[in-house]
Amino acid sequence: MTATAGRPILEAEGVARQFGRFVALGGVDLALEAGEKRALIGPNGAGKSTFINVVGGQLAASAGTIRLDGRDVTGLQPHQLARSGLGRTFQISRTYRQMSVRENLVAAYLVARGHGYSLSRGRLRALAAEAEALLERVGIAGLAERPADDISHGDRKRLEFAMVLAGEPRLLLLDEPTAGMGLKERHELMDLVAEEASGRGLTLLFVEHDIDVVFRIADRITVMARGQVFAEGTADEIAADREVQRIYLGEGH
């Protein structure tokens, strides 16, 4: 690992996860510098999503330590991690399908601001303008009244991203943010993600299969294979790595 200035915002040490006898993660070490954009790539079954789920608290680690801003957060519940500044999207975007796009975002704001249990409707009015502005920024303001179930897959990804931004996270985990999207949509969404991350000084860890997207966005790339970190480096380093080409880039190219 390269030594860079500043303290890592996320440090994973020997993070392992087993499902019965199947080892999904066999001791992953990974550190993210504050503000960097890191792509997590690797063939299917490499353990990328499992790693994201362990860091996000959706899955418990079988072994290892995870530190957020230097604080040991291993074993914390997702809502505790979210309050510590971790935001995430899911591989299959999770939104409140029967609620309108606006309500989805308002719900996210309420939770983020600690008003989830409030009985005051004034809180809702106070958030309306903010929600509107954020919908505008992610480009779905025109869909505000529509149920989340009713909008396109890509727009739902944008909505989920906005919901995460509402929580003002410092670390953002995106699990295949562009899965199932067309080429153009995909680039537009990731440009938006990169822009918001840079503008807000967020640290980004994203799982991505589209190599063009990865090279376009990521400062650094971590390659996983079979539950291990296989290689790590800048885009150029990874592109030049023969072994990586063999196990990953060669496939399907």
Partner 1 sequence: MSAARIDWRIVAAGCLAVLAAIALGGRGGAPLVTEMLLMALFASSLNLLMSYGGMVSFGHAAFFGLGAYGLALAVSRFGLPVAAGLACGPLLAGLLALVFGTLCVRLSHIYFAMLTLACGQITFTVLFQWYDFTGGDTGITGFMAPAFGLDERWFAVVVLGVVVACLLALWRVVNAPLGITIRSVGEDPERVSASGLNPRRVQLTAFVIAGTLAGVAGSLFAALQGNAFPDYAGLGFTLDSLIMVVLGGLRSFGGGLYGAVIYVLLRNYVPLLVTEWELVIGVILLLVVLWSPEGFAGGLQRIGRRLRSEPRP
Can residue 7 be called a binding residue for partner 1 (CB under 8 A)?
A: no
- Within 8 A by CB and 6+ apart from 79, the residues are none
Place of tokens 């739902």: 156
Cβ proximity to partner 1: between 97 and 200 the closer is: 97
Can residue 71 be called a binding residue for partner 1 (CB under 8 A)?
A: no
What number of CA atoms fall less than 13 Å from residue 79's CA on the CB side?
A: 5
Q: In terms of DSSP H, where are the helices of the chain?
A: 48-56, 78-83, 101-112, 122-138, 153-166, 183-200, 211-217, 235-240, 242-244
Cβ proximity to partner 1: between 82 and 214 the closer is: 82
Among 124, 179, 192, 239, interactor with partner 1 by CB under 8 A: 124
Q: Of residues 159-178, which lie at the interface with partner 1 (CB under 8 A)?
A: 160, 163-164, 166-167
Among 33, 35, 43, 123, interactor with partner 1 by CB under 8 A: 123
Cβ proximity to partner 1: between 167 and 227 the closer is: 167
Can residue 130 be called a binding residue for partner 1 (CB under 8 A)?
A: no
β partners of residue 19? 22
The token duo for 206 is: 């994203």
The token duo for 12 is: 């994973």
Give the footprint of partner 1 on this chain (CB under 8 A): 56, 58, 77-79, 82-83, 87-88, 90, 94-100, 103, 106-108, 110-112, 115-121, 123-124, 160, 163-164, 166-167
